[in-house]
Structure 1
């Protein structure tokens, strides 16, 4: 009897090993801050990216792949959870809000299916208790992690993240550091010269700008070399014939108007899947080629779990892209862009691949808004210098002006998004269709980011934004969205509607009404000065602070200045940041200088272990002081 039991056990182990070996290995290569515009495989003849080009040429190249966010940490929340950030409440960059206890990083489900999971090495998942979250998802996550640490015969899911194309290299680091970390790693033949590429029309074509923009091409060349070394190791270890390779960027290019901006240049990414012959049956597109199928980052977790034979949790709504359980293609995607570092914002977008429609809910701020990590970059400073010197053409200068409420770009005809079609009669049908799609999908998903971050932080202290949004009693999304839809609509009739909403019993409705008034002109608001000033005493701080910003700027209302100073010094980081951001766009800054200096030097941590709250408040203060020339706009003065 013991012999039979032992034999059965041996057969069971053997059969499980065979089954495991039939599962594909998966290598996941991510690169930082890269738009497809700058890779050879996407048609750029100036790029030197032979490794990426060869992978794309032998695999499936996607022309319509999109990040669900426009900056690192929110895009990585969506990647690791398979859930959009406007559902989890994690759309704001480095906010660290809580997820439900049963929401795991998707490699957790691959581990359950027998996979060895390794991450080398970036995490930046933008969630609370990140160390525990990482340990739950990965067998190993470090600079030494890789497939080589798995058990014999065990299938692997291995992620490698290459930082060399990150915004720090392409624009933010001092030029000397870029020379050391990028140029010094390239031979003369490998380098791309400052006169060896076409300058995108969104920038002034000058020697100063070319010097900075060449950083994009050389950083990508270094990335390409490092990817080549990784693929060679896979080949040398005789694993390529059993490994499916995913290659993509984490969001748009790390350049002004790209990363952090809710337009196509912020969302669209290069994306390739390469199948070895052993697993080409999993590809619905054949062995190689090009597809215009729409995909976004929420699709990747369900796809990986499916091909691993794992159990997909109900909270994942994305598509399965490959394999026998493949989901049907979609005709549009909803994308989102929220705060980046100290630069608050809220944009929601719809794309069908050809058109990109974006709704700007904070249009009083420009596309090139103040974000400290960008303001310290030579290229951004050069653009501001050119603006002051009237060296920019009208369109380039418009990037520093308040935005319209809506953008509509034809990406096929206008890949750099320079012609807003929103008021064109010929585009009316497209605009109406996309507005309807946006409203329908955001309502269905119950977008929790219509709450000010002040409120999301309070909710996260007790529950999770993901769960809160599901309560129609607590979260009157329909009424809130009605108020938000007025934001950016300019005119007397809209002002009247917004003023009526200031008496709403719903504090979030009042917030959106006041935020909408922030985008109206002084001439339209002056007749209602007394009514708006009363809201400086509103019991809900985000309403009061927003009213204070309006009434101080337009009417010089003294109590408003007092409230703004008090709010900047608040122990609530989200409220402090809100006040500072409003002051960045108010012409009269003199009354607030001493307060901003005090906040910047205070050393407050706001009880945040990883100091992200303190960073964003200090960064806002440094932007304020930098505008006035009171601190240098250099990396040494980033915060």
Structure 2
């Protein structure tokens, strides 16, 4: 039997792919994260099934969609009694640990399960001198949260049984809002302006009303704690928007610089221990993020910047350096992938598919060419309407059913339902809704059929009828 590989899963919070230089970022450099991509594979079409923190994390752990794992919104907690891939690895002889952000509830059945060791932040956690919960015991550590999460991860790795494989989930809080950098990076970018995105001045014309209704605009919705100050007097609206953007995006990127440094520490440890060749290393984020795109920050929408996840993987035994994979993959696939590498049977209940063949450069016949997305938190926090949709390689069809439907934390204030259709080849920035264009009538019908097929395939049967 081939030796079971170690698994190091590094996940940040709200780190958009277009803020990573291996994805061609215009705004920053991430040399250590790039090491993973350059020595392994970069996925260019990895998507989340629900672009919000807790639901994405629940899907990654359980290998099933949110309507089945029970975490549809930020108000839902994960029932730890259900199967997850750490439990299955643990039963197969893996040493398992999770350090950092958990965000799936705490206490009783909501604590992390399937881990020999867990040391997690309560809720969102703090950037400086954060509290942690270590195997049920509350502790406070002095220092910066990104450094501390890495310190605790390395401490566990040093104490592990070197005769057995390990699976470590290192979950960073950063770069989650309100974007507080450490002292080392506090003045990074002071002397430059970060380029504004092409869609920075989007006016939300030719879109469903949901786009204009969302309250995540850089020009008006950022708070004083987000921009760390009060803008100068006398700024015109366009100047204020740019001032807010520079204040927000620089701190966001400073937080990422700290993550990148700490990714380097973990990679260096694997080299020093002589186990880099035996270890699968993943870097990802729980979803995408708007970096001023469409004039927004935050996520939630099915639009590309929010939907797309960074996903780079290194495993020298099976993955060729500088590989690039364009096939469509989802966060629901991660659990099955890890079990496949560990030679642990994948439960029939898991809804994802192992990415192991794709890592090797082979796309299996019949691989998915469409994906299903659903966001439940109607109007909560940033006023985004509840919606679901289908994305193919060329088209995206979104239905804003715009009702709470009893979802935890959603606001019971229904809005008129609307559709959006985008031709991603002709309109990659999703600025022109062509749903009502007669030229696309047949495509709309085909996409609706595919949407219904996917809903039944993933067993999201109790959706709003259309």
TM-score range with shorter-chain normalisation? 0.7 to 0.9
The answer for the alignment partner of 1:111 in structure 2 is: 90
Of structures 1 and 2, the one with the larger relative CO (CA 8 A, separation 6+) is 2
* CA separation of 1:258 and 1:435: change in aligned 2, threshold 3 A: farther
Matching residue within 6, 26, 43 for 1:62: 43
The number of aligned residues is: 377
Matching residue within 434, 437, 446 for 2:447: 434
Q: Cα distance, 1:252 vs. partner?
A: 1.4
Residue 137 of structure 1 aligns to a residue in which SS?
coil
* CA separation of 1:429 and 1:168: change in aligned 2, threshold 3 A: farther
* CA separation of 1:218 and 1:199: change in aligned 2, threshold 3 A: farther
1:409 is the counterpart of 2:422: yes
The answer for the alignment partner of 1:313 in structure 2 is: 347
* CA separation of 1:209 and 1:45: change in aligned 2, threshold 3 A: closer
The answer for the alignment partner of 1:139 in structure 2 is: 116
CA distance in 1, matches of 2:458, 2:199: 37
* CA separation of 1:187 and 1:165: change in aligned 2, threshold 3 A: closer
1:322 is the counterpart of 2:329: no
The answer for the alignment partner of 1:47 in structure 2 is: 28
1:334 is the counterpart of 2:311: no
CA distance in 2, matches of 1:191, 1:163: 22
For structure 1, the 5+ residue unaligned runs are 1-18, 170-177, 365-369, 372-401, 451-480, 486-639
1:422 is the counterpart of 2:439: no
Residue 436 of structure 1 aligns to a residue in which SS?
helix
Would you identify which runs of 4 or more consecutive aligned residues in structure 1 move more than 4 Å?
Answer: 323-328, 340-345
Structure 1, residues 162-209: CA drift from partner, whole Å, max 9, x if none? 22211331xxxxxxxx3xx34x32175x43656232334234663333
* CA separation of 1:73 and 1:294: change in aligned 2, threshold 3 A: same
Paired residues of 1:350 and 1:437 also in contact (CA < 8 A): yes
Structure 1, residues 17-49: CA drift from partner, whole Å, max 9, x if none? xx58x1111111111112212221112233121
CA distance in 2, matches of 1:96, 1:135: 11
The answer for the alignment partner of 1:158 in structure 2 is: 168
CA distance in 1, matches of 2:58, 2:462: 15
Matches within 5 A, 1:380-419: 405-419=418-432
Structure 1, residues 584-626: CA drift from partner, whole Å, max 9, x if none? xxxxxxxxxxxxxxxxxxxxxxxxxxxxxxxxxxxxxxxxxxx
Matches within 5 A, 1:371-382: none
Paired residues of 1:46 and 1:197 also in contact (CA < 8 A): yes
Paired residues of 2:55 and 2:73 also in contact (CA < 8 A): yes
Paired residues of 2:95 and 2:166 also in contact (CA < 8 A): yes
Matches within 5 A, 1:176-195: 178=180, 181-182=181-182, 184-186=183-185, 188=187, 190-191=188-189, 195=193
Q: Cα distance, 1:355 vs. partner?
A: 2.7
TM-score by length of 2: 0.73
Q: Cα distance, 1:414 vs. partner?
A: 3.7
The answer for the alignment partner of 1:267 in structure 2 is: 307
Structure 1, residues 408-437: CA drift from partner, whole Å, max 9, x if none? 233454443222222234444433222111
Matching residue within 258, 281, 284 for 1:245: 281
Matching residue within 53, 65, 73 for 2:54: 73
Structure 1, residues 442-465: CA drift from partner, whole Å, max 9, x if none? 134332664xxxxxxxxxxxxxxx
CA distance in 2, matches of 1:206, 1:152: 52
* CA separation of 1:192 and 1:163: change in aligned 2, threshold 3 A: farther
Q: Cα distance, 1:362 vs. partner?
A: 0.5
Structure 1, residues 138-162: CA drift from partner, whole Å, max 9, x if none? 1111153533332231111111112
Q: Cα distance, 1:311 vs. partner?
A: 2.7
CA distance in 2, matches of 1:363, 1:405: 12
Paired residues of 1:29 and 1:246 also in contact (CA < 8 A): yes
Q: Cα distance, 1:245 vs. partner?
A: 0.9
Residue 161 of structure 2 aligns to a residue in which SS?
coil
CA distance in 2, matches of 1:140, 1:244: 20
Paired residues of 1:201 and 1:416 also in contact (CA < 8 A): yes
The answer for the alignment partner of 1:228 in structure 2 is: 264
Structure 1, residues 214-238: CA drift from partner, whole Å, max 9, x if none? 3333332222222122222222222
The answer for the alignment partner of 2:199 in structure 1 is: 201
Paired residues of 1:59 and 1:273 also in contact (CA < 8 A): yes
CA distance in 2, matches of 1:73, 1:135: 13
* CA separation of 1:193 and 1:294: change in aligned 2, threshold 3 A: farther
* CA separation of 1:290 and 1:96: change in aligned 2, threshold 3 A: same
TM-score by length of 1: 0.54
Structure 1, residues 224-275: CA drift from partner, whole Å, max 9, x if none? 2221222222222222121111111110116636412232222211111112
CA distance in 1, matches of 2:451, 2:390: 6
Q: Cα distance, 1:88 vs. partner?
A: 3.0
CA RMSD of aligned residues (A): 3.0
The answer for the alignment partner of 1:95 in structure 2 is: 76
* CA separation of 1:273 and 1:430: change in aligned 2, threshold 3 A: farther
The answer for the alignment partner of 1:569 in structure 2 is: none
Paired residues of 1:91 and 1:449 also in contact (CA < 8 A): no
* CA separation of 1:33 and 1:441: change in aligned 2, threshold 3 A: same
Structure with the largest fraction of strand: 2
Paired residues of 1:249 and 1:270 also in contact (CA < 8 A): yes
Residue 93 of structure 1 aligns to a residue in which SS?
coil
CA distance in 2, matches of 1:421, 1:218: 38
Structure 1, residues 471-517: CA drift from partner, whole Å, max 9, x if none? xxxxxxxxxx43xx2xxxxxxxxxxxxxxxxxxxxxxxxxxxxxxxx
Residue 167 of structure 1 aligns to a residue in which SS?
coil
Matching residue within 17, 23, 29 for 2:10: 29
Paired residues of 2:186 and 2:254 also in contact (CA < 8 A): no
